[in-house]
Amino acid sequence: MHRSAPTPALQKSPTTALLFGLVITLGAVLAFAAYMTVQLSGLRRLQSELVERNRRDSLQLLRVQNDLNSLSLAMRDMLDAQEPYPLTAWTAQFERIREDLDAGLRLEEKLAASSRTQEQRRFLSQSLAQFWDAVDRMFAQAGNGREAEARDQIRLSLQSRAQALSTAVSRLLVENNEGEQQAAARIADIYNGVQRQLYFFLCATLVAIVLTSLYLIRSNRLIFARLAELSAQRSDLAQKLIATQESTLRHISRELHDEFGQILTAIGSMLTRARKQVPEDSALREDLQEVRDIAQSTLNNIRRLSQALHPVLLEEAGLESTLDWYIPTVERQTDLRIHYLKSGTSFAVETSAGVHIYRIVQEALNNVSRHSGAREAWLRMNFSAEALEFEVEDHGKGLHPEKGQRGIGLVAMRERAEILGGVLSISQPPQGGTLLSLKIPRERVEAHAVA
C-alpha cells in the first residue's frame, strides 16, 4: 500500500518569545531606572538636607565660637591692670557681641541637626543666659564703683563660664564633623550600592541579550534551514516539471513528425499517383493537385511545429547549428531583424544543456517580439575558456522585474539557468530597452567526446 511522505511540521514562529523577552528587558530597564531615580533622589536629599545643613550649622557655630573668643579677649583686657579705661567702657562692645551671638544662636538652633538632644539645646541656651546675667551683674557692680569686685567676678566666674560655653560649642562642632563624616559614609554606601546594582543590571542585561541572541540565531538557523529545504524542493520540483515538459514536447514533436508527417506524406504520394491516372484535360486533375498542395502545406506546418516543440536538430547537429537555423526562422515568422554575433572558439555543447539554452534564447526572443515593440534585436554568443555567454538585447520598452514584471517565462528562464549552474541577469542598456545576460560555466555545458 502506497503511503505518502509525512508533511514536515511547521516551525513555530519566534515572534512571541522575542516579544516576551523584549517585554522582560524593558521591564527590567524601567525597574532599574525607577531604582536609580529613588537612590539618586535620596542621595540628593541627603546632600541638601544633611550635608548642606550641617555645613551651615557649623558656620553658625564658628560664628558663636568667634564671638565667645572675642568675649574672652575682652575680659582678659578688662583684667589688665595697665588698662586706663573703666570696666563700664566695655559695655557697648559686650552689647554688640551679645546681639551677634544671639542672632547666631537663633540661626544655629534652626539649622541644628535633628540628632541633637533637648538637653544639649537647653544647656547651651541656659548657660548663655546665666553668662549674660553674670555680665549684667558685673557691669552693675562696676557702675556702682565696685570695680574690684567686678574684676573678681570676671576672674572667678565669667571667664570660666565663657570657657565652658566655648567648650560646648567646640563639642557641637565636633558632632557636626562626625555627622558630616557619617553622611559621607552613607553617601559612599549609596554610591557603592548603586554601582553594584548597575553592574548587576549590566550583567543581567548582557545575559538577557546573549540568551535572546542565541535563541534568535537558533530560530533563524531553523528558519533558513527550512527555507533552504523548501528552496531545494522547489528547485527539484521545477527541474522535474521542466524535464517532464521537455519529455512531453519531445513526444508530441515525434508523434507529429513521425505519425502525422508520414500520413500526410503518404496522402501526397497517393494524390500524385491518382493525378497521373486522370486525363490532363479533366477537372478532377486540378482538384487532386489542389488537395495535394493543401496536404503539402499542412505537412510543412506540422514539421515547423514539430521543430518548434523540440528541434531534432539539437540532437543531430548541436546548439550552434540549431541557432543558425532558428534565427532566420524567427526573422521570417516575426518580421524581427536579429543581429546574430558569435565570438570565441566554439566547442560542442551537451544535448540536455543545449535544450535549456535553446529554450532561454527562444523565450527571450519571444519576449522581444511580443512585448518590447522593437523591430531589431541583438543576439551575442561568446565561447570563452571559462564559460559560455549569451546576451539578448533590444531597445524597446524595457522590462522591469523589480516592479513586479515577473512572468512565468522569466521564472522558467531563471530555473533553467539555475539547473545549468549559470547566472541570468536583466539590466537596461544605455540606449534603453532590455539586456538579458546568461553566463554558464563551461564544464557544465561542454560535451566530452567518448572514446
Q: What domains appear along the chain, each with residue ranges and CATH number?
A: 15-215 (1.20.1330), 315-445 (3.30.565.10)
The distance of Cα 429 from the centroid of its chain, to the nearest Å, equals: 35
pLDDT at 449: 46
Q: What is the pLDDT of residues 168-222, one digit of tens each?
A: 888 888 887 877 777 778 777 877 877 787 788 788 888 878 887 888 788 888 8
The percentage of the chain sitting over the pLDDT mark of 90, rounded to a whole number, equals: 12
Work out the end-to-end distance of the chain between its first and last CA atoms, rounded to an integer number of angstroms: 46
By C-alpha distance, which of 356, 362, 366, 333 is closest to 415? 356
Ramachandran sector of residue 145 (left: φ over 0; alpha: ψ -120 to 50; beta: rest): left
Has residue 76 got a pLDDT over 60?
Answer: yes
pLDDT at 49: 66
Q: What is the pLDDT of residues 283-316, one digit of tens each?
A: 787 777 788 888 788 877 777 777 667 677 777 8
The band of 6, judged by pLDDT with boundaries at 50, 70 and 90, is: very low
Per the confidence metrics, is the pTM higher than 0.85? no
Name the range with the highest mean pLDDT among 140-144, 215-219, 340-344, 406-410: 340-344
Pairing of strands 423-427, 434-441: antiparallel
Q: Per-residue pLDDT averaged across 327-353, rounded?
A: 89
Query: Which of 250-264, 272-286, 361-375, 405-419 shows the lowest mean pLDDT across its residues?
Result: 250-264
Mean pLDDT across the chain:
81
| 249 Cβ contact partners less than 8 Å away, ≥ 6 residues apart | 309, 310
Contact assessment for residue 438 and residue 423, using Cβ atoms and an 8 Å cutoff: yes
pLDDT at 357: 92
